[in-house]
Amino acid sequence: MLKHLRSSIITGLAFTLLLPAGMSSAAAKESVHALEADKLRTRYQDSFSIGAAVEPYQLEGKDAAVLKRHFNSIVAENVMKPINIQPVEGKFNFKEADKIVQFAKKNGMELRFHTLIWHSQVPEWFFLDKDGKPMVNETNPKKQEKNKKLLLKRLETHIKTIVKRYKNDIQSWDVVNEVIDDGNPANEKGLRESPWFKITGTDYIKVAFKTAKKYANKDAKLYINDYNTEVNPKRDRLYNLVQDLLKQGVPIDGVGHQSHIQIGWPSISDIEASINLFAGLGLDNQITELDVSLYGWPPTPAYSTYEEIPLDRFEAQAERYNQLFNLFESLDDKISSVTFWGIADNHTWLNDRAEQYNNGVGVDAPFVFDKNYKVKPAYWAIID
């Protein structure tokens, strides 16, 4: 594919030449609105799609305008998760999900589905037996087996109904999400001991992929999605699981790397190694939930307001974004999509996390557009 020379961060003469007379580079950069800036999707059209996670309310107004200008792929941040689509058994609610599907179709965008199966944001009824008792508490072997069959049947019905509805609209499906534990679970394979796992073992993963494959469009791609895929022990646990499932004929097409990145972690070499590792299995890679936090872990101390964030933090973030996109572009034969987990700094789950760890007061700023949709140093770093 066509490769592009990249700069560290656009500063100095190259940018100054573009300025109106009498305007400083800093002032000009701060004044550029996302709707006036060069399109991110065009910049990377020879390498991979550029996506954003959205809520339905963002499909109009400034958010929608920025989406249509800069992105050619979208994914639902929340409304396609199990608890939102089937909160009550047998009663599917597609109203909000349909809004995102229609927006993507109207604007010629690719659409990712997130997520068919997850341990979080899943309604309790999935894991209750026919008598309304928690399946995980069952000790009778015969009843355990009945519960397993019931849960897998519910899973199959959930996936079948959704995939059949959207089979002609969805290009990429997050089939299962966050099945690997990054702590010390009791099982030797390092799998998350969710109710799904406790009741069915790994069968829920197998049935999920096989059901999705059965009903999806023949050209659709199926992904296993997770966070911290760049670091061990999680990376190797995921690799071993995927390798084993592929040997059993489970139809996995790729790995989704959430990529909730910090300015100083993980290392670029670790990210590169992870992408190459899974590509070695013949799998596609997608960057599915990209953001770059201003903080390390935990996110303390945090800035109390957006206005308190100093320019040097945004410049450090820009350099981090430059490193990431330099890597992504060099591996564009192994990466088909890069999706930001939001549009601009005025809406991010990282604000909630900052508040959680700072006594209810804290903000983050993880994207390339600020809270007023103006471009940040990170934008110049990746647009070249």
Q: Which of 382, 384, 369 is nearest to 34 (CA)?
A: 369
Cβ atoms 82, 121 nearer than 8 A: yes
Q: Which of 54, 65, 41, 68 is nearest to 100 (CA)?
A: 54
- Alpha-carbon distance values, 56 to 53, 103, 129, 206, 287 (Å): 10, 9, 34, 31, 22
Q: At what angle do helices 141-166 and 203-215 cross, to 10 degrees?
A: 30
The verdict on whether 178 is a catalytic residue reads: yes
Cβ atoms 154, 86 nearer than 8 A: no
d(CA 241, CA 71): 33
d(CA 91, CA 254): 31
- Per the DSSP assignment, residues forming a β-bridge with 303 are 363
d(CA 68, CA 71): 6
The separation between the first and the last C-alpha atoms of the chain, rounded to the nearest angstrom, is 18
Cβ atoms 375, 318 nearer than 8 A: no
The verdict on whether 55 is a catalytic residue reads: no
Specify the residue for token string 């999509």: 337
Q: At what angle do helices 311-330 and 268-279 cross, to 10 degrees?
A: 30
Q: Please give the radius of gyration of the chain, using alpha carbons only, rounded to the nearest integer.
A: 22
Q: Return the number of other C-beta atoms located less than 10 Å from residue 156's C-beta.
A: 18
Q: At what angle do helices 234-247 and 203-215 cross, to 10 degrees?
A: 60
Q: At what angle do helices 268-279 and 234-247 cross, to 10 degrees?
A: 10
Among the listed residues 156, 178, 230, 329, the single catalytic one is 178
- Residues marked active site are found at 178, 289
